[in-house]
Amino acid sequence: MSQKIKVSVLGATGLVGQNFLRLLDGHPWFEVVDVAASPRSVGKTYADAVGGNWLMSDEIPTHVKNLVVRDAQDFDVIPDGVNCIFSAMDLPDKVDTRKLEFAYATSGYALVSTSSANRRVDDVPMIIPEINPNHTDVIPIQQVNRNLPESGFVAVKPNCSIQSYLITLAALESAGYPVDQVQVTSLQAVSGAGQAGIQSIEMKDNVIPFIGDEEEKTENEPLKIFGSVSENGIVNSNQIDISAICTRVSVIDGHTAVVHLRFKEEVPSLDKIKTIWKNFRTLPQENFFPMAPENPIVYLEEKDRPQPKLDRNTDKGMAVSVGRLAEDKFFDIRYVALSHNTVRGAAGGAILTAELLVEKGYINA
């Protein structure tokens, strides 16, 4: 790319926003020229606004430190040339978040969001680039429906709880082994609840067997991802049933999923499944997207893997690690899968989606 695409990060002082800035530092396609947050940070340099709450292991990127924080709802001071908005912004009311995202789209910006506010909207693509890159085809429908300019639209990435296992189902489906039923139990890291989750006293030496709305998202969002594009928007799939229990565990980063799976038809051998997973490659790998993992699914033969401490950062934190594949007494197979919830499940997944949108011609310098 001869010229980098200038981007803004909304919610830049929060945990996911910090991950955006870390992952975009030195990115070959994107350049952060603007950071935005809530009014309490406005007018401060980014370094002063984030203060001692910088939670990344790397230092604040040098070129970001002195950027002056903009009010995320102030469009008048967005720097010239910004074409893409990465949003990690969640307002107290999701309706307000939905309106804010579409306000950016109406103003001509391509917005890629980690928020759940617009995930259920039929004409908003919810994308895992290895699974449903064709869902970008709904963007022109969205633009017509909402009278948006040619450069403006909203795209989202799905919930972090499904990122640790959904790609394993997609690989089996694409190899000709359709999945019928899935029972998944998630063990989700505290960083999924943001900085407050990391600092929560309740999470010390504890497991909390409930996360608000998480089971509903885990059961329903895959149906949209596996759905099809119609003339009116995305039509959810009715070809798979998912039942979920979602828990919060005292791990900082890395969502684990215990998966039990039943196939519709032929049941492949365990060796066949491992081969399918190991060989799974799609558009992001074939086109060498900068954020794409070389191997989207990494199978680990050790009996005690995957583990968050050992495996969450595999291939930039973008690979899904899988292990303990076995035949099951009640379902056909079971296994354990893991992904980095604030990278693959949030900022990194959104960046990979934006790379797909560049490849498809929806985001330009």
Catalytic annotation, residues: 160, 255
Measure CA of the first residue to CA of the last residue in the chain; give whole Å: 9
Match 């617009």 to its residue by tokens: 118
Position 125, amino acid: P
- The Cα–Cα gap between 280 and 284 comes to 11
- The Cα–Cα gap between 72 and 109 comes to 13
What dihedral do alpha carbons 175, 125, 64, 340 form, nearest 10°? Answer: -40
- Torsion 55-59-61-65 (CA) sign: positive
Cβ partners under 8 Å of residue 316, min gap 6? 23, 291, 293, 343, 348
Q: What Cα–Cα distance (Å) separates residue 203 from each residue in 32, 215, 240, 246, 341?
A: 34, 19, 33, 15, 17
